[in-house]
């Protein structure tokens, strides 16, 4: 492991890829997810899918990801989340959390 990997917390980090269903587009879900992720030190992205879902890739330490995943089940006030399906993925060193 390199020094930069140790400093970034790489050893304990992981990624999750989630698909959020319900009324999650047009309700500031992606922007709110980015705000939550940045507050938790999570990197990744949120993007709208053509089928109405939002895809979220989130990378960080396990505790932060658990907190973020709980937030995904609620979303912002205007959202109506009906389902969240997540899978664990290999860690990817990303620089920030963006909306696409």
Write the pLDDT tens digit of every residue in 65-98.
999 999 999 999 999 999 999 999 988 889 999 9
Residue 7: pLDDT band with limits 50, 70, 90: very low
Model pLDDT, residue 12? 74
With pLDDT > 70 as the criterion, what percentage of the chain qualifies? 89
Instruction: Please list the active-site residues.
Output: 30, 48
Enumerate domains of the chain plus CATH numbers: 12-92 (3.30.70.100)
Helices 29-40, 62-74: axis angle to 10 degrees equals 160
Mean pLDDT score, 16-44: 98
Distance CA 66, CA 76 (A): 17
Model pLDDT, residue 10? 56
């Amino acid at each position: 492991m390199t020094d930069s990997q140790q400093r970034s917390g790489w050893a304990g980090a992981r990624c999750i890829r989630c698909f959020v269903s319900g009324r999650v587009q047009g309700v500031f879900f992606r922007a709110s997810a980015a705000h939550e992720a940045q507050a938790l030190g999570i990197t990744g992205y949120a993007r709208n899918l053509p089928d109405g879902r939002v895809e979220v890739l989130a990378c960080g330490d396990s505790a932060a990801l658990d907190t973020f995943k709980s937030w995904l089940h609620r979303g912002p006030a205007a959202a109506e989340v009906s389902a969240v399906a997540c899978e664990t993925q290999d860690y990817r060193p990303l620089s920030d959390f963006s909306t696409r």
